[in-house]
Structure 1
Amino acid sequence: MVKAVVCGASGGIGQPLSLLLKLSPLVDDLALYDVVGSPGVATDLSHISTKATVKGYLPADDGLKLALTGADVVVIPAGIPRKPGMTRDDLFNINAGIVRDLVEGVALYCPKAFVAVISNPVNSTVPIAAEVLKKHGVFDPAKLFGVTTLDTVRSETFTASVLGKSDPAVFKIPVVGGHSGDTIVPLLSLASPPVSIDGAKRDELIKRIQFGGDEVVQAKEGKGSATLSMAHAGFRFVDSILKAVSGQTGIVENTYVYLPGVAGGDAIKAATGLDFFAAPVELGPSGAVKVENILTKASDYEKGLLQVAFKGLATNITKGVDFIVAPAAK
């Protein structure tokens, strides 16, 4: 029996993500939590003829406790969306508090669950989650993930478009670093199958992958951000976790993890000076099995992009850690 929880289930990401989880044959029990609307979303989804039972919870009457108790995987898309002109860091003050409070619930009610953080800015909210779990003495680095899968999805889609290929799924592209602007570094030189994109086309492609979220915000004329594509990406990552838990092997996803706590992470930390970093991670029944250090294989051009990413990530990570360990400075 697998219980999945979506925290922020009534939002623009939460609703389609909950739908995808309801459709998954790997989910038996689906709990939806939000400050408003979650019972309605749950009732709607409960009419779908798949095996997962669905129930919605609100903050009243110990709703968070009831939603999280017994959870195997907790997905957190809760928070406010980006608006025109906002960066992911602009979201920090509101979303940081939301993630802190939800992860407090995880620490209290389902400390052994896998936690997949979607709430932006991921570069900072994952360190917040880690510090909260540390405070409660239940931090397992192998079970905490920042969902950067949308960067992977965009890299596959946009690369296929540039090359005139009809099926983006044929591409496997490592996307490392973080999940915001120029902290996102697609390593096109390591794509499989190999791709050859140079000069201005390469620069334009990388910029589009890095700032694809802005494209959606602008196209929605300020009335929304990337929700449907993010829901797909979030489900893709959670589905990989569930498959790994069920015993499937060889599953690798790009994801943002705490390096010192995952095999292979020390080498990346030594190269970057960072505690958190997105890279290809092998998943297994216990979570992150190994993070692949592919940075030495990057092209000289990509190594230049990485240097920029390292600086941005250092600031983002410190901001997240300080939100918990030095709250007066936030």
Structure 2
Amino acid sequence: MKVTVIGAGAVGSTAADVIARREVADEVVLLDIKEGIAEGKAMDLMQTSSIEGFDTTIVGSTNDYAKTAKSDVIVVTSGIPRKPGMSREDLIGINAGIVRTVVTAALEVSPKAVILIVSNPMDTMTYLTYQIAQEMGISKKRVLGMGGALDSARFRYRLGEAMNMSTNDVSGMVIGGHGDATMIPLTRLATWNGLPVSRFLKSDDLAEVAAKTKVGGATLTGLLGTSAWYAPGAAICQVVEAILRDEQRIIPSCVYLNGEYGQKDICIGVPVVIGKGGWQKIVNVRLSNEEKAAFEASADAVRKMNEALKGL
């Protein structure tokens, strides 16, 4: 199995590291436009293999897409990261051009690959990739955005923190757009070892958990001065592993909707079954009236962002 990670920044190189250590793939190609960065990081990672005991081969390349040929999964992290005070939406103009270029080049040499979009604003960049894939005759099921996996991890972290319990025992998912104002943590459905967390947390506590989850990325950007990378890298690996090992896992992901959840012609986060070849099917969760309204508002906000693509 072969995975290409485009963008050797903090997120991309961390994803390559986690994928290699977990031996999810036989080969990981790390690609970057900046001379020497991908090669250097690949060499650095390979030098840990004899210490960590993994056998995955990591190759670095400066913009040579020939080395990415016949990849099973292509992860796109390219683009400028968020800085303090920036929203994900602020990145559309620059990152759309970058994503269009790298996705087209990657698919030309790996037409059977699954494309996993991480670049922000993720929902809009996934929609752009869906459009490119359609032009190239590639199934919509091989295009997905990695937002829900990360947001759900941050949700579970906040739930565990509020309950003073291990996050390993907590289940919860986030749907909707991958943005501070558009994501929807489903507190009503969150559980602790199968029991509703609402039995252990007051409504005010759950509201605070949801609020902290929504600004999870912005909180870290404020502390770090740039976007986070450890949890995003691990979340990327989680999705890649589900694809390559055909795990049939339910992971909230940004996918193209055609009537599901009452939405059409949009890429937005919903629970999907992920396995070989990408996402297999969309899982219908019965939302409350309040959750439906929040999802509709989230979709409206994502569509508004998508409008910016028309002038690019």
Calculate the TM-score normalised by the size of structure 2: 0.91
| Pick aligned residue for 2:280 from 289, 293, 301 | 289
Tell me the SS of whatever aligns to 2:245.
helix
| Mapped contact 1:274–1:314 kept (Cα < 8 A) | no
| Pick aligned residue for 2:268 from 245, 269, 277 | 277
Alignment of 1:40-51 (within 5 A): 40-47=40-47, 48-49=49-50, 50-51=54-55
> Is 1:52 aligned to 2:56, yes or no?
yes
| Mapped contact 2:150–2:231 kept (Cα < 8 A) | yes
Aligned residues: 300
Tell me the SS of whatever aligns to 1:276.
strand
| CA shift in 2, pair 1:231/1:79, >3 Å | same
| Mapped contact 1:258–1:277 kept (Cα < 8 A) | yes
RMSD: 1.7
Tell me the SS of whatever aligns to 1:259.
strand
Tell me the SS of whatever aligns to 1:85.
coil
Equivalent residue letter for 2:280: V
What's 1:158 paired with? 158
| Mapped contact 1:27–1:52 kept (Cα < 8 A) | yes
Distance 2:62 2:266 in 1: 35
What's 2:102 paired with? 102
Distance 2:159 2:232 in 1: 18
Q: CA deviation at 1:124?
A: 0.7
| Pick aligned residue for 1:298 from 276, 287, 293 | 287
| Mapped contact 1:187–1:298 kept (Cα < 8 A) | no
| CA shift in 2, pair 1:17/1:121, >3 Å | same
What's 1:28 paired with? 26
Equivalent residue letter for 1:184: M
Q: CA deviation at 1:46?
A: 1.8
What's 1:5 paired with? 4
> Is 1:267 aligned to 2:267, yes or no?
no
Distance 1:198 1:97 in 2: 45
What's 1:251 paired with? 249
| Pick aligned residue for 1:195 from 187, 194, 197 | 197
What's 2:244 paired with? 242
Which structure dedicates a bigger proportion of its chain to strand?
Answer: 2
| Pick aligned residue for 2:211 from 197, 203, 207 | 207
Calculate the TM-score normalised by the size of structure 1: 0.86
Listed as ranges, the gaps of 5+ residues in structure 2 are: none
Q: CA deviation at 1:110?
A: 0.6
> Is 1:310 aligned to 2:299, yes or no?
yes
Distance 1:154 1:188 in 2: 13
Select between 80-89 and 44-53 the one with higher mean Cα deviation.
44-53
Equivalent residue letter for 1:288: W
Q: CA deviation at 1:283?
A: 1.7
Equivalent residue letter for 1:281: V
Distance 2:187 2:68 in 1: 39
> Is 1:87 aligned to 2:67, yes or no?
no
Equivalent residue letter for 2:260: A
Question: Per-residue CA shift, 1:64-86, capped at 9, x if unaligned?
Answer: 2x232110111111111111110
Distance 1:259 1:300 in 2: 20
Distance 1:25 1:199 in 2: 42
Q: CA deviation at 1:274?
A: 4.7
What's 1:144 paired with? 143
Distance 1:289 1:307 in 2: 24
Question: Per-residue CA shift, 1:238-276, capped at 9, x if unaligned?
Answer: 1222221xxx4x41111000123xxxxx332xx134532
Alignment of 1:218-233 (within 5 A): 218-220=222-224, 222=225, 224-233=226-235
Q: After the TM superposition, list the runs of 4 or more consecutive aligned residues in structure 1 that deviate by more than 6 angstroms.
A: none
| Mapped contact 1:173–1:188 kept (Cα < 8 A) | yes
Equivalent residue letter for 2:295: L
Tell me the SS of whatever aligns to 2:197.
coil
Distance 2:78 2:151 in 1: 19
Distance 2:270 2:81 in 1: 25
Tell me the SS of whatever aligns to 2:10.
coil
Q: CA deviation at 1:203?
A: 2.3
Distance 2:271 2:141 in 1: 14
Select between 251-260 and 274-283 the one with higher mean Cα deviation.
274-283
Distance 1:289 1:91 in 2: 30
Q: CA deviation at 1:134?
A: 2.1
Tell me the SS of whatever aligns to 2:75.
strand
Distance 1:198 1:109 in 2: 53
Question: Per-residue CA shift, 1:185-244, capped at 9, x if unaligned?
Answer: 111112233111444322222121111111101112x3x221122112111221222221
